[in-house]
């Protein structure tokens, strides 16, 4: 009897706030059930809700809501001290865990990671190979070893493992005897050779050992990718050797600990990413080869451009699609596809500068009057501008062709110095490589820009505009600059879309697209180019994948429902995004504790101009 109250204590500590939290979580579960339920209609308004709430599948969502509610309650209770935490050990990061495991059982851990990376390499080789009926049969698996490509992947895996092991030893200060330079150089050269073998596996003969014969027409030495990868590999060796020297000179152990991502690891990362970006699409099916350009590549470009506005400058642009449409229609104009005929026809490559200039000019014209006042007006003004461009494309038939669409847009082609090449829809990968060739310089450029004086000015304006201005930074100039740069990137993306789809319809450029691009930026992490790319690739891949694998009752028409919900959820729980930029994350935290701001939406001047 006497210890009854102490057993009931946890229950007594619940209060109204906890019940409110539970109820919210439960309602959230039910809302999810409704969101994923069937479509309703106006004639039977309760049908959809009834079908989604009073059938069996709703229990899963209720349980989901309950679990989330309990977790939230637990977290809040532990935080305010009325409950004790179940686990008493301090929280450790994944790196800590990895380090302690490696330190305790060094050889075993290294061996296990080596085996894992070997297995990963083989798996990659297997899945990238020719389509076999049963990928998991031993026969098909063993068959992979006939192809040199397999050895290329293995070499890549070993290189990855080597850097990972290096990291572990660096972090735990476990010394493994360093390999001599000669061993590394020879090893990497051999790896590169296999790498090159793996590089261009369009035709089956190139997979085999025969292709090492320089006399053969299908030999690897006849393909430029071999030399590309050789060059890249040599650069990697150079940077690795330089880094080794630097690490050897770094005496302070603290310095070593802080190098969580060493230059060599970063180099291997870039190398791996580049290799995968260039080689992997060749093994994809036609559907994904097309959507790599159309759904993912173009959206990466758009997201990287919007990232300048939202992430770097801290402004909000809700009519981003307008500049995208401008770029596309400028391309159509110079192809003679619009009712309004151009003075001269242009190759789409030559239209790109025009698209940049026109999108940039409209960005400046729009941004200058708006940003002079308050940053938050920009959101509404751009929203209006997006709507106007759509209306013009849809209804101004004399100029844009209206809703039936434009005529056909010229394709890309090159006729220069004896080289004649035309991009055609028959080869979707050619478009993909073109997109890569544009995307990578753009990313490098924007990254450099963010680390330059301009980027620092953006950061200063975001964090404290008044202080930035008192230091002589022209806030208006940098804001308009960011806005116009974002706009011109969208214009370039518009050119690429116009050329690929061939015929433009105004419905492609609805305002909802701006929201979609905004989600790509917010989800990945505004201000972080890597995050934005991750967000764009993931969020563009997922709907395309779910379209023909309908999990969780996903329906194509509900896409914007989820996108809207995702925006709110991200803002409430993780405004900095999944892969946040470190600076932006700190800004959000600072702004919430009352220091500075995380956006440039405040008034530039205290007095309004009269």
Partner 1 sequence: MTGGFAGYFYLHYTIGNHPAPSNLWLSLYYIVTGVLVSGIAGTLVALIIERFAYRPLRRRNAPKLAYLISAIGASYFLLNLFGKEFGRYPEGTSQPFNDHVVTTILGAQFTMYDFVILVASVILMVALDFIVSRTKMGRAIRAVAQDAETASLMGVNVNRTIGTTFALGGFMGGAAGFFVAINQGIAYGMGFKPALLAFTAAVLGGIGNVRGAMIGGVVLGIVMFTPIYWFHQPWLEEVIAFTVLVLILLFRPTGLLGERLGRSA
Q: List interacting residues with partner 1 (CB under 8 A).
A: 34-35, 39-43, 45, 48-49, 310, 314, 316, 318, 366, 369-370, 372-377, 379-381, 383-385, 387-388, 391-392, 394-396, 511-512, 515, 518, 522, 557-558, 560-561, 563-568, 570-572, 575, 587-588, 591-594, 597-599, 601-603, 608-610
**Shortest approach of partner 1 to residue 499 CB, angstroms?**
28
Q: Which is nearer to partner 1, 98 or 310 (CB)?
A: 310
Write out the two tokens for 27.
């309602």
Q: Which is nearer to partner 1, 4 or 593 (CB)?
A: 593
Q: Which is nearer to partner 1, 6 or 610 (CB)?
A: 610
**Which residues touch 12 (CB under 8 Å, ≥6 apart)?**
5
Residues 483, 485, 486, 491, CA torsion sign: positive
From 579, 578, 557, 583, select the one nearest 566 (Cα to Cα). 578
**Shortest approach of partner 1 to residue 45 CB, angstroms?**
6
**Which residues touch 556 (CB under 8 Å, ≥6 apart)?**
543, 547
**Shortest approach of partner 1 to residue 515 CB, angstroms?**
6
Q: How many Å apart are CA 313 and CA 263, to the nearest integer? A: 29
Q: Which is nearer to partner 1, 125 or 519 (CB)?
A: 519
Decide: 21 and 76 in contact? Cβ < 8 Å.
yes
DSSP one-letter code for 506: G
Decide: 526 and 316 in contact? Cβ < 8 Å.
no
**Shortest approach of partner 1 to residue 362 CB, angstroms?**
11
**Shortest approach of partner 1 to residue 472 CB, angstroms?**
24
How many residues are there in the chain? Answer: 610
Q: Which is nearer to partner 1, 158 or 566 (CB)?
A: 566
**Shortest approach of partner 1 to residue 467 CB, angstroms?**
16
From 68, 69, 72, select the one nearest 22 (Cα to Cα). 69
Q: Which is nearer to partner 1, 279 or 317 (CB)?
A: 317
Q: Which residues pair with 576 in a beta bridge?
A: none
Q: Which is nearer to partner 1, 308 or 518 (CB)?
A: 518
- Phi first, then psi, for residue 271 (nearest 5°) are -60, -50
**Shortest approach of partner 1 to residue 388 CB, angstroms?**
5
Q: How many Å apart are CA 452 and CA 580, to the nearest integer? A: 20
Q: Which residues of 203-230 are buried (b: 16+ CB within 10 A; e: fewer)?
A: eeebbeeebeeeeeebbbeebebbeebb
Q: Which is nearer to partner 1, 141 or 377 (CB)?
A: 377
From 443, 545, 434, 438, select the one nearest 500 (Cα to Cα). 434
Angle at 213 between CA 212 and CA 215, to 5 degrees: 140
Count other Cβ atoms within 10 Å, centred on residue 319: 25
**Shortest approach of partner 1 to residue 259 CB, angstroms?**
32
Q: Which is nearer to partner 1, 126 or 590 (CB)?
A: 590
Q: Which is nearer to partner 1, 232 or 591 (CB)?
A: 591
**Shortest approach of partner 1 to residue 144 CB, angstroms?**
46
**Shortest approach of partner 1 to residue 534 CB, angstroms?**
19
From 380, 378, 375, 372, select the one nearest 609 (Cα to Cα). 372
């Amino acid at each position: 009897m006497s210890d009854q109250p102490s057993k009931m204590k946890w229950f007594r500590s619940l209060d109204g706030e906890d019940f409110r939290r539970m109820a919210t979580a439960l309602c959230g579960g039910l809302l999810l059930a409704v969101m994923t339920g069937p479509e309703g209609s106006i004639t039977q308004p309760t049908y959809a809700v009834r079908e989604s709430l009073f059938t069996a599948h709703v229990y899963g969502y209720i349980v989901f809501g309950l679990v989330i509610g309990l977790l939230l309650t637990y977290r809040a209770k532990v935080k305010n001290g009325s409950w004790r935490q179940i686990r008493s050990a301090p929280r450790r990061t994944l790196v800590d865990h990895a380090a302690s495991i490696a330190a305790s059982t060094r050889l075993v851990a290294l061996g296990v990671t080596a085996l894992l990376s070997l297995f990963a390499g083989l798996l990659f080789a297997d899945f990238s190979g020719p389509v076999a009926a049963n990928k998991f049969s031993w026969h098909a698996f063993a068959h992979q070893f006939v192809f040199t490509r397999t050895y290329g992947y293995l070499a890549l895996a070993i290189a990855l493992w080597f850097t990972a092991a290096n990291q572990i030893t660096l972090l735990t200060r476990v010394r493994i005897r360093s390999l001599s330079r000669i061993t590394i150089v020879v090893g990497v050269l051999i790896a590169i050779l296999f790498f090159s073998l793996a590089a261009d596996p369009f035709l089956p003969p190139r997979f085999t050992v025969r292709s090492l014969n320089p006399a053969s027409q299908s030999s690897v030495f006849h393909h430029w990718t071999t030399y590309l990868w050789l060059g890249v590999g040599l650069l990697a060796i150079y940077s690795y050797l330089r880094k080794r020297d630097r690490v050897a000179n770094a005496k302070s152990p603290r310095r070593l600990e802080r190098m969580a991502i060493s230059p060599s690891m970063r180099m291997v990362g870039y190398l791996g990413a580049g290799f995968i970006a260039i080689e992997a699409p060749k093994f994809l099916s036609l559907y994904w080869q097309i959507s790599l350009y159309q759904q993912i590549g173009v959206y990466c470009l758009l997201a990287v451009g919007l990232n300048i506005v939202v992430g770097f400058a801290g402004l909000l642009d809700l009519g981003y699609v307008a500049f995208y449409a401008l770029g596309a229609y400028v391309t159509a104009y110079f192809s003679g596809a619009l009712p309004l005929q151009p003075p001269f026809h242009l190759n789409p490559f030559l239209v790109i500068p025009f698209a940049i200039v026109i999108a940039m000019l409209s960005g400046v014209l729009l941004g200058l009057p708006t940003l002079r006042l308050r940053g938050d007006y920009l959101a509404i003004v751009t929203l209006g501008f997006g709507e106007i461009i759509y209306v013009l494309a849809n209804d101004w038939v004399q100029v844009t062709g209206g809703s039936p669409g434009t005529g056909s847009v010229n394709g890309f082609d090159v006729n220069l110095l004896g080289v004649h090449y035309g991009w055609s829809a028959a080869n979707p990968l050619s478009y993909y490589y073109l997109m890569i060739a544009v995307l990578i310089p753009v990313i490098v450029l924007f990254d450099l820009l963010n680390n330059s004086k301009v980027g620092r000015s953006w950061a200063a304006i975001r964090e404290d505009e008044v202080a930035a201005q008192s230091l002589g930074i022209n806030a208006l100039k940098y804001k308009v600059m960011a806005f116009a740069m974002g706009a011109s990137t969208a214009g370039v993306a518009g050119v690429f879309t116009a050329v690929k789809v061939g015929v433009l319809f105004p419905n492609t450029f609805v305002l909802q697209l701006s929201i979609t691009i905004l989600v790509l930026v917010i989800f990945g992490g505004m201000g972080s180019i890597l995050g934005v790319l991750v967000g764009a690739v993931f969020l563009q891949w997922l709907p395309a994948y779910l379209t023909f694998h309908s999990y969780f009752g996903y329906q194509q028409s509900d896409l914007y429902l989820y996108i809207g919900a995702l925006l709110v959820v991200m803002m409430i729980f993780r405004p900095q995004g999944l892969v946040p930029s470190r600076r932006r994350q700190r800004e959000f935290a600072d702004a919430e504790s009352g220091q500075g701001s995380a956006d440039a939406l405040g008034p530039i001047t205290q007095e309004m101009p009269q």
